[in-house]
Chain A
């Protein structure tokens, strides 16, 4: 019975894939909204990276939804994983791990911040850079099991960044535009200070994602409640 179900699933999946590859020509999507955005995007938003123009400019409220889903998931994860215990005994990490962590931490932090701040110019942005920042803060935790991240600071950064994202959106509303519509000067196309509010929005996203995921990873790395007590 179970084999039959798997077989049916595989046949159905193959049928769907054949349909998709047969009906749609590769590289020619049936929707024309992409072409339209490619034509007017650079003038309207001023971001060299069109993906960012879509993510924060044309579909900003989707990004807000994404942020809230991530927030809910991280909060639920923290709730399930329990409270932070200070008393803990862990084996000390080896020399290679400690030195590697010292070497990697600033490098990862710079790369993450670079990706966040250049989100409107080059591939990447708040989500990708935020994940890299979170792992940057996790690496020293691996090397020094006794150290702990201060969850109050993480919560503060996370809350302020999320509030800043919504505040920028409301400010756009106050100035007579739509919610989260980019405003401020567009600047020179392709320079660091350009595309209006998009870099600020991505900075908020990066800080929020970074703080959230760093907190989640730190909670996961802590020993379980019963073991620690």
Chain B
């Protein structure tokens, strides 16, 4: 069980770093929701199902939805990589 949690924490840390490193904003949003999902699973492990449910619904679901919709409003909703595109143009 402990190893599972350690793996989960490593996964969450990797996703958190990915949020900062990814060029694609949509992918960064998805990575942020992965972090939230990991936190929710850890809350379940700590026997706090109420908090886990809130984290899964608000952190993983609603906030990534709001972030994605904000990206669409700002015109940053792209599935391809912007840096790659700039390199292709050059």
Q: Which residues of chain A have a CB within 8 Å of any CB of chain B?
A: 49, 51, 115, 123-125, 127-128, 131-132, 134-135, 138, 213, 216-217, 220-221, 223-224
Tell me the smallest distance from the CB of B71 to a CB of chain A, in Å. Answer: 10
Contact B53 A123 (CB under 8 A): yes
Interface size class of B (residues with CB under 8 A): 10 to 19
Of the candidates A51, A131, A216, the one whose C-beta lies within 8 Å of that of B57 is: A131
- Give Cα distance in the complex from A223 to B77, angstroms: 13
Contact of B70 among A51, A115, A132, A220 (CB under 8 A): A220
Chain B binding surface, main DSSP class: helix
* Cα-based distance from A217 to B66 in the complex (angstroms): 7
- Asked if B65 and A124 sit within 8 Å, CB to CB, the answer is no
Which residues of B from 28 to 72 have beta carbons under 8 Å from A? 49-50, 52-54, 57-58, 61-62, 65-66, 69-70, 72
B39 to chain A, nearest CB (A): 15
Residue B83 CB within 8 A of the other chain: no
What separation, in Å, do the CA atoms of A127 and B51 have in the docked complex?
A: 11
28 A-B pairs (CB sep. < 8 Å): A51-B50, A115-B53, A123-B50, A124-B49, A124-B50, A124-B53, A125-B50, A127-B58, A128-B50, A128-B54, A128-B57, A128-B58, A131-B57, A131-B61, A131-B62, A132-B57, A132-B61, A135-B61, A135-B65, A213-B62, A217-B65, A217-B66, A220-B70, A220-B73, A221-B69, A221-B72, A223-B73, A224-B73
